[in-house]
Amino acid sequence: MVIGASEIIKHVKSPSYQPVTVKRLARQLGVQEEEYNQFRQLVRSLIEQGRLKRGKGGTIRPPEVKRLVAGVFRPARAGYGFVKPLPEEEVPWVEIFIPAQHVKDANRGDEVLVQITRLPRRPGKYPEGRIVTVVERARTQFVGTYFEQDGVGYVRIDGTSFGEPIFVGDPGAKRVKPDDKVVVDIVRFPQPGVEGEGVIVDVLGPKDDPDVDLATVICEYELPHTFPKEVLEEAREVARAYDPDKASGRRDFTSVTTVTIDPVDAKDFDDAVHVHRESDGTWELHVHIADVAHFVREGTALDGEARKRGTSVYLPGHVLPMLPEVLSNGVCSLQEGKLRFTKSVVLRFNAKGTLLDTFITPGIIKVTKRLDYDTVMDFWQNPEKYEGKFPADVAEMLRLMRELAALLRKRRRERGFLELDLPEVELELDDEGRLLNAIVRSQDESHQCIEEFMLSANEAVARYLDDRGVMFLRRIHPDPDEYKLEQFGAFVRAMGFKIRNPQDRFELQRLLDRTRGTPEQRPIHYMLLRSMKQAVYSPEDEGHYGIASDAYCHFTSPIRRYPDLVIHRILDRIWQTPDWHPDEAELRVLGEHCTFTERRAESAERELVKLKILRFLADNLGVVLQGYIRAIEDVGFFVETVTIPVEGFVHVTALTGDYYRFDHRARALVGIRSGRCYRLGDRVTVKVVHVDLDRREVDLQLTDEEPNVDRILPRAVGEKTTSPDRAAARRSTRAGGGKRRAQVKPNRTRSRSNASRRKRR
């Protein structure tokens, strides 16, 4: 008879028990050999649940349950929430569930102290707790809409974090008017039975003004949007001091044919490439990256501001750069015909694409030709059009680049690289910030080519540092949780696809290929994305699951990502002092900060894009869209639309002609009389019936009408490719004016990009 969980726990907690390994524990409990694998899985599940603990030497011990745990709070739409324990807590749970009645006055991002009230009973479930106190507020200032009631002022905070308005009393000093967007500093957070109270600190303007959207999001996410005077002055001094003739110690690449390939309207160019093939079939790839570390010295005001920002933020019609433009669009940028300092990676591959050796050095280059993605793709498809338009060496190198990139991509797929295909929409805005058009752009072979070269360079630098025993700021993407992959497997099977082992990356790869180009592509690729963890910056050596790499870092975008700049500085230090090592604690703190700023940038962009789309939908009620069901609750389901990516809710009362019950096991709404079933991933056609701009919510209704959005936004639709990594490496710095554009990611915060999705993994 197989031993049960209660018997194992009782034995381990007995006073006479001495910690032993799983095998010895099995012997003590009389587990038969044929039952051992099942027993071992049960012990592993109990450890994951926190009901047992693995000690030194793999010994099994009783749990040391911490009844008070510090963590970060994340609210859910329905009022309940989750707390992610801080790393130093060393508890076995990813999150702790907080029922709505025990949330207290915590808000998103607050550091809280949680009392554990109930432990999980099976794998994949969270323990339950209640918030004892808020240790530190993530923020006290929020954006909302001002209104008056009975002569008293209130602010309805944007979004769904606050269920009730915030009392602001008499705000006459700010000359605020009803329906103005305002910034309110909350002095007393609301909680059950207690009204929130705040003070208006800024008036942004009328809520119906589209230009207020930008200010709203900047304030809401506390984005640094102006450079201090001393930072601008320091940047100008650094730019004036640049002398390309003082290039001693740098390898000279100026006579080598080198190109940049970027979006047509890009202003900052931080990478250039060169490819050639030897007579014996070996390949040589040069990846030259702007040497930002030469200009932004550690400890300066310029560095402090760059570190605080962490990343450039690309918003519809506006960019908040990490560095002042005199650097990002000037002396740091690898402009055609200009002498520029670089960190250069030289990679040699054999004829089959196997890396033979790596050489990394400070360099100086002069870009031969600035190219854009569209032109390169057109050249590959119609080479006869470009006869005489490109220098012969550039044309020949473009052909070689295509061949090498395909070879490297093939090898990466053989390693288990997972390529998700999710739509990415480019918004086109008018001068007033209103939506003119939504265009789904394709990431063609030209994008993939440069992305492959950047991936190779990032990997090479990480391995270069690894080989020298130097700790550095890695880009890690931890392996997915097995339980989440099992849930994904169940979802896929419910859609009619066979998958035996969802933990097998090659089986996942085959599934992605099989669904590519089918109606099931989007829900399946999206659900796999949701099943994965988010990539982060950390000195921990955990590898990168999505690109199947055991050593990876971000090195190729130092103009707009601070982690890349850190890698450049580490290279400089070890070249100067080979036995130098960075401080691990400092790297850990820096990694957490850069992960935060990256996700803040993604969230801010997504929020502003969402506002633009919601304004469009509010002006076009009744528009009919296609979408798929991405989440189901007992009161209805959420639909993500396709042509214009937005999430809306279909309430169960809008499902006419039957009464529907929620089937927990199948995660479906099922008609009691008809048996009609609405499941995750089902494709549906919906009509927009209501838009709440303040709460940023959309109400939808199922319809048999034909989609009509193409008559309002008549551009052609393409396809876009993404990866499992959620880094926010933007490509183009759009300054606004005229028709303004911005990229849209899937509604989950994981995918990203402005005009190019490369270099973000």
Top mean-pLDDT range of 69-83, 287-301, 703-717: 287-301
Q: Rg of the chain's alpha carbons, rounded to an integer?
A: 28
| Residue 458 Cα to chain centre, angstroms | 18
Mean pLDDT of 397-402: 97
pLDDT > 70: what percent of the chain? 91
pLDDT tens-digit readout, 563-586: 999 999 999 999 999 999 999 999
**Range with the lowest mean pLDDT among 67-71, 132-136, 728-732?**
728-732
> Three-state SS across 17-53?
CCCECHHHHHHHCCCCHHHHHHHHHHHHHHHHCCCCE
Res. 483: pLDDT tops 50: yes
Give pLDDT, residue 423: 67
Q: Is the pTM of this model over 0.75?
A: yes
Token readout for 663 is 């089937």
Give pLDDT, residue 77: 67
What distance in Å separates the CA atoms of residue 298 and residue 328, rounded to the nearest whole number? 17
CA atoms within 13 A on the CB side of 31: 25
pLDDT > 90: what percent of the chain? 57
**Range with the lowest mean pLDDT among 207-216, 266-275, 734-743?**
734-743
pLDDT tens-digit readout, 430-449: 888 888 887 766 678 999 99
**Range with the lowest mean pLDDT among 432-436, 572-576, 591-595, 748-752?**
748-752
- For the domain made up of 141-207, give the CATH fold: OB fold (Dihydrolipoamide Acetyltransferase, E2P) (2.40.50)
Instruction: For the chain, give the mean pLDDT.
Output: 87
Check if the beta carbon of residue 52 is closer than 8 Å to that of residue 21. Answer: no
Q: What is the DSSP letter of 403?
A: H
Mean pLDDT of 349-354: 95
Query: In terms of pLDDT, which residue wins out, 761 or 436?
Result: 436
Residue 642 identity: V
Residue 624 identity: V
What distance in Å separates the CA atoms of residue 60 and residue 53, rounded to the nearest whole number? 6
Give pLDDT, residue 352: 93
Give pLDDT, residue 5: 81
Query: In terms of pLDDT, which residue wins out, 397 or 125?
Result: 397
What distance in Å separates the CA atoms of residue 521 and residue 495, rounded to the nearest whole number? 11
Instruction: Give CATH for domain 605-744.
Output: 2.40.50.140
pLDDT tens-digit readout, 527-541: 898 889 899 999 999
Res. 57: pLDDT tops 50: yes
**Range with the lowest mean pLDDT among 54-68, 464-478, 729-743?**
729-743
**DSSP reduced 3-state for 653:** helix
Give the ranges where 479-624 is alpha helix by DSSP (H): 482-494, 505-515, 521-531, 562-576, 584-619
- For the domain made up of 5-61, give the CATH fold: Arc Repressor Mutant, subunit A (1.10.10)
Q: Which CATH number fits domain 68-136: 3.40.50.460, 2.40.50.140, 2.102.10.10, 3.90.25.10?
A: 2.40.50.140
Res. 718: pLDDT tops 50: no
Give pLDDT, residue 748: 31
Query: Could you tell me the sign of the dihedral formed by the alpha carbons of 724, 729, 731, 732, in that order?
Result: positive
Q: How confident is the model at residue 51 (pLDDT cuts 50, 70, 90)?
A: confident
Give pLDDT, residue 761: 56
